[in-house]
Structure 1
Amino acid sequence: MSHSPDPRAHDGVSRRTFLAAGAAAAGAVAATSGAAGLVRAEPSALDSANAAGTTLDRVAVPGKARKGGYRKLTEGAGWPLYVRQELAAARSGRDSRRTALASFVQITDIHITDVQSPARFEYVHPIQGPAFRPQEALGAQGAVALIKRINQVASGPFTGRRFDCVVSTGDNTDNHELIELTWFQKLLSGGSVTPNTGARDRFEGVQALGSDLYWRPELASRDIYKDRGFVQIPGYLRAAMRTLQSPGLDAPWYAVFGNHDEQFLGTVPNGFLDWMYLSSVKFDLPGSDPAVSEIAGAMTSNPAALGPLLAQLRITGPAFDVTPDARRRPFTPREFVRSHFNPAIKGAGPVGHGFRDPDGPTWYSFQIAPGVRGIAMNTCNSLGISDGSMGEKQLRWIERKLREFSDELVLVFSHHTSTTMTATLPNPETPGEKQYLGEELVAVLKQHKNLIAWVNGHTHQNEMIAHRGATEKNSFWEINTASHIDFPQLARILEITDNGDGTLSIFTPLLEADSPYTADEDDLSPTGLASLYRELSFNDLHYDAERIGKAADRNCELLLAHPHR
């Protein structure tokens, strides 16, 4: 790995490193005519970049289908680099003039899940796929493998600059349970994690006790997943519950709120069903029960109807017994902020992980690198079903910060995208405040020339959006990255460079976790389970091939005008 003598120095890496990386970009520009603002790189364009460990080098691809359609994964060729020129032209000679300004990693939608919690609706998954995922019990193992990969890669492939930080853009937890938050923070900071709740000596979730609607890995009996080629794996659930060690991230880390960190399963306003968290029974309706469709519909359009529906189920069932666990109680936004000041989860720091005050607001600013500033926004609306909005107070604070840091380059981070901030309902967290939507936030951001990118998640899909303002310097990129729970299970490196010609580049290579591509069902070690985590996600009955995004939404060089040149 090639590094500068001072890996986080603001003057960038050596000229030799940039000549190598720049040659890769120059080769990409030379590959085609650049029509429609896109240029596809030839394979040779990456010869000089340090692509090891990234999707520039290799990616998981499906192998031959076995009976039922299940496909093992295998190693495939890496994805090409695209140069995106919608906001600025890629100018010749920038390869020899560049300097590195910042290098960091975005993880998003990691959804650390208490899969045995009674406060879940797995039985609606035939209607709403995310309600149950066959791989969901292995989230901790998958997270450790991702952390190991980030630590191994350590620096940007195009600049060689060591990672300045890691930013998690929301849905850090799945059901905003205190135990999920504890696991998430221990995973990122380092420490021992035991992904088990309820009974200590047995698994009490639907994958052990539920109907044939779920993959039940330790049972020989059929289920709808085994009909599709999933196999029995004796010992799987016991292995999933074992204590494992996370090395923690080597770089400082920051986290922002996602809707799953704010409300019941990310869709139900708080207070409606809080009794379920500490319940001693877990509901499991058969697919033929008419209540399934009623509950699924209420979750998306009328959460108030869930109360009466669930009250009836408390009388009629069907349900099975589970061991209550006080650690499952939901945390509040205040508790989320305060928990980041716990010395036990400091890891690489900093104290508070960006939050300025244990009792302060749920948004903050932080320095990514000298001259490069991050603003972590909270776009969640706890009455907004799953989509988001922003209150007046926060929006005005963001404007003040953009003015305050006018001499710096600024990136904003949020969970929601510009197209998923559509919640017009009032937000109980900001009573009386007007709510602003995504298009309104975009309009505000375009007024500030130092804003270069908006980095987000939520959609579980890779996408790049060029937001063109009144001038080139009032334009910015929106960078949306796929989740780490659904396939393709990715994180993203972002490298910011000054091209020395009046333009900036943002490189966006993607990362996969550090686990074998082809899973071995007999390997129930943490690494083996992390491999299964990825393979099972590809074979999920609700797998969506669109999440991978278009080729030009993955590994990119995004050009834009330098606001200070």
Structure 2
Amino acid sequence: MQHNSAHLPSRRTFITGSALGLTALALAGCDRAQSPTPTPTTAPTPTLTSPTGAGTTLEARLVPGEKLDPTKPYRRLAADDGYALVVREDLCKGNPNRAGTRKALAAFGHITDTHILDPTSPAHTILGAFNTVAMDQMQRKLYYFRPQEALTVQVLDAMVRKLNAVKNGPVSGRPFDFYISTGDSSDNRGASEVNAFVDAMNGQKTSAFALPGRYSGLQSSGELPDALSRFIWQPVPPKSGSALWNNERGFPVVQHLLSSASKLITTDGSNVPWYSGFGNHDALVHDGVGMLGTPNESFHRALSTSDKIPLGLPPKIKFSDFMTKLNSSTATEAKALLESMPGNTVEASSLRRPMSKTEFMSAHVMNPGRHGPRGHGFTGENVRSGTAYYRFQLAPGIVGLMLDTTDTTGGGYGSLDAKQAAWLEKELNSISGIRYAANGTKVSTETKNQLAVIFSHHPSTTFSSKSLSVREKGDITSPESIQRFLGQYPNVILWVNGHLHKNVVWPRSSASGKHGFWEVSTASHIDFPQQARSVEVIDNRDGTLSIAGVMIDHSDAYQIDYSSPFTAAGLAAVSSELSMNAANSVGTRMDQNVELLLKKPF
């Protein structure tokens, strides 16, 4: 791996010195040619252990280092000692001698919230920034913009390369069986974004830029109106500067960042099978919350393929009046409204158009890659029915169940509609010889038991009925209802998800019987710490299981040379540093490198 930089000293020196036919896929609107089908490859006081974890945060972790300018807050990237495993016995006590008897049942790499983003898309416009009254009241917080937004493909490629290099679960040594993404693969569901995600996972040359090699967006060095300049970090600022990022926060001038970021990159691609999930940013209108089939969607659809990046509201109109007009407009009126907004002219591209759920899944089915599986979990039936949930054999004796917790009626909340809830119940019943009825009665059948691992974009804490416009009996729309439902099945041992952009681990005790499961949410790839998590399911062969979760940084700590062109690997390291200085939520020690104990259900 090449970097245009030298190693940065440790922070310690600063501190202490099923296939679908081509015709059907074409009707689904997929832009890609079909690839050949590959051959699949096969809260007590914590205690600490320290297994070997080369390449993971058991060995070393990224942290803020020295200041770039002593008078300003921006810090360089640095490395510090790794974190040892925190052994959590919230659900059951562990045998101190279990390391001598254990056997790994499965190991995989979890990535989530990659938010692959075309930063030159007009659809990336920050409309909320034009609400100057609200922004002044909020002190113009940084929510609307990420300085590292042009570097998302480079981060994903670096992460896949790192997972490939780590190779094995760091606790058990079992080779990774697969990698899995739990949604928000794209940021604005643009075709170039979705295709770049699939390409990077498959090891194809790619870019999220609809027009690779050319950057023309909000981070260009031209003058911006005040409403935007207060938010946007420009790597080469205009003469007036960018008060918030460069002058106040001390962000560096990085001459070649945008030209380097816009180039096509040769990705490594997963060297094991990989699976994919569906998130609210993959489903909904701008910022992953807007409802489909609305004037807001019509506006952003027109915006995505337009030749203008809006820089302000139409003349003599208040933000509230603009939004009222937008939300009551026809498709023709929405386009006219866009034309009335001042902005910069850019080259339009149909590759920025938003993809539907069907097209998202079709892009996966059409690109199985070297290791598959075909569809990366999604099947022809998923494409035909428009459902994004599926079952797969995670490992011998373990079933994986990918859920679709997004709600196309809008909002960033999670839920399961009645149809999917019934499917989930049927699938769990088919692998559960022992379960509990809703009234707590134990139910035993002749069904062969298998362990179950649940995957979804949303964690249980975000489940809500707030965004459901149509409600049916059987919907699962609250944290308590989904936890209670899964708690009826002793063989459900783990729920893996994302969405929160931070590392969190929750023990979920069952109200039925004396069992429970662990819920594990992993940080995003776009916000610091930009980590993946290795997950290992281990049979301790003493009546308990261990779920080992270890965080993995995609890049090492490097002293970045801001004046030279960048390799793709160097840009990934830049993204870590920029995101660390923007906003971050690493999680506590109890949420990062963990060994999670639970009783073996059978």
Q: TM-score range by the shorter chain?
A: 0.7 to 0.9
2:475 alignment counterpart = 435
Counterpart check, 1:413 vs 2:455: yes
2:215 alignment counterpart = 203
- Distance in structure 1 (CA, Å) of the matches to 2:406 and 2:187: 14
Q: CA deviation at 1:316?
A: 4.4
Amino acid at match of 2:109: V
State the superposition RMSD in angstroms.
2.7
Q: Which runs of 5+ in 2 are unaligned?
A: 1-40, 130-134, 433-448
Match of 2:372 among 349, 352, 371: 349
Q: CA deviation at 1:275?
A: 1.7
2:590 alignment counterpart = 552
Q: Aligned ranges for residues 143-222 of structure 1 at < 5 Å?
A: 143-198=156-211, 202-208=214-220, 209=222, 211=224, 212-213=229-230, 214-221=232-239, 222=241
Amino acid at match of 1:206: L
- Distance in structure 2 (CA, Å) of the matches to 1:382 and 1:291: 29
Aligned partners of 2:368 and 2:375 also within 8 Å: no
Q: CA deviation at 1:451?
A: 0.4
Counterpart check, 1:380 vs 2:406: yes
Counterpart check, 1:282 vs 2:344: no
2:12 alignment counterpart = none
- Distance in structure 2 (CA, Å) of the matches to 1:68 and 1:124: 28
Match of 1:59 among 35, 55, 61: 61
- Deviation track 1:329-363 (CA, whole Å, cap 9, x = no partner) reads 11111112222211x44231111111232424311
Q: CA deviation at 1:314?
A: 2.7
Aligned partners of 2:292 and 2:410 also within 8 Å: no
Higher relative contact order (CA 8 A, sep 6+): 2
Amino acid at match of 1:466: P
1:393 alignment counterpart = 419
Q: CA deviation at 1:432?
A: 6.4
Match of 2:250 among 225, 229, 232: 229
- Distance in structure 2 (CA, Å) of the matches to 1:210 and 1:397: 54
Aligned partners of 2:125 and 2:309 also within 8 Å: no
Counterpart check, 1:110 vs 2:120: no
- Distance in structure 2 (CA, Å) of the matches to 1:447 and 1:161: 30
Aligned partners of 1:123 and 1:131 also within 8 Å: no
Q: Aligned ranges for residues 31-110 of structure 1 at < 5 Å?
A: 36-41=43-48, 45-46=49-50, 49-65=51-67, 66=69, 67-110=71-114
- Distance in structure 1 (CA, Å) of the matches to 2:360 and 2:339: 34
Identity %: 34
**1:153–1:292: structure 2 CA closer, same or farther, 3 Å change rule?**
farther
Aligned partners of 1:337 and 1:359 also within 8 Å: no
- Distance in structure 2 (CA, Å) of the matches to 1:339 and 1:195: 14
Aligned partners of 2:154 and 2:572 also within 8 Å: yes
Amino acid at match of 2:306: S
Amino acid at match of 2:218: V
- Deviation track 1:233-270 (CA, whole Å, cap 9, x = no partner) reads 22221111111111101111111110000012301112
- Deviation track 1:123-162 (CA, whole Å, cap 9, x = no partner) reads 6366564431100101111111111100000111111000
Q: Which runs of 5+ in 1 are unaligned?
A: 1-7, 10-35
Counterpart check, 1:244 vs 2:265: yes
- Distance in structure 2 (CA, Å) of the matches to 1:318 and 1:347: 46
1:31 alignment counterpart = none
Counterpart check, 1:368 vs 2:394: yes
Match of 2:283 among 258, 262, 271: 262
> Mean Cα displacement is larger for which, 117-126 or 484-493?
117-126
**1:307–1:527: structure 2 CA closer, same or farther, 3 Å change rule?**
farther
Q: Aligned ranges for residues 476-491 of structure 1 at < 5 Å?
A: 476-491=517-532
Aligned residues: 513
- Distance in structure 2 (CA, Å) of the matches to 1:305 and 1:50: 59
Q: CA deviation at 1:384?
A: 3.0
1:5 alignment counterpart = none
Q: CA deviation at 1:517?
A: 4.0
> Mean Cα displacement is larger for which, 270-279 or 482-491?
270-279
Aligned partners of 1:516 and 1:528 also within 8 Å: no
1:138 alignment counterpart = 151
What is the TM-score with the length of structure 1 in the denominator?
Answer: 0.85
Amino acid at match of 1:225: W
SS across alignment from 2:186: coil
- Distance in structure 2 (CA, Å) of the matches to 1:310 and 1:537: 34
Aligned partners of 2:515 and 2:598 also within 8 Å: no
**1:350–1:446: structure 2 CA closer, same or farther, 3 Å change rule?**
same
> Mean Cα displacement is larger for which, 348-357 or 470-479?
470-479
- Distance in structure 1 (CA, Å) of the matches to 2:109 and 2:326: 35
**1:548–1:372: structure 2 CA closer, same or farther, 3 Å change rule?**
same
SS across alignment from 1:530: helix
- Distance in structure 1 (CA, Å) of the matches to 2:281 and 2:334: 20
- Distance in structure 1 (CA, Å) of the matches to 2:394 and 2:282: 24
Q: CA deviation at 1:179?
A: 1.1
- Distance in structure 2 (CA, Å) of the matches to 1:115 and 1:532: 16
Amino acid at match of 1:38: T
Amino acid at match of 1:103: A
- Distance in structure 1 (CA, Å) of the matches to 2:172 and 2:281: 35
Aligned partners of 2:284 and 2:410 also within 8 Å: no
1:340 alignment counterpart = 364
Q: CA deviation at 1:405?
A: 1.8
Aligned partners of 2:417 and 2:472 also within 8 Å: no
1:24 alignment counterpart = none
Q: CA deviation at 1:397?
A: 0.6
- Distance in structure 1 (CA, Å) of the matches to 2:600 and 2:183: 29
Amino acid at match of 1:416: H
Counterpart check, 1:322 vs 2:346: yes
**1:128–1:362: structure 2 CA closer, same or farther, 3 Å change rule?**
farther
Amino acid at match of 1:242: K
Q: CA deviation at 1:427?
A: 6.0
- Deviation track 1:300-346 (CA, whole Å, cap 9, x = no partner) reads xx99479899778535423111211101111111112222211x442
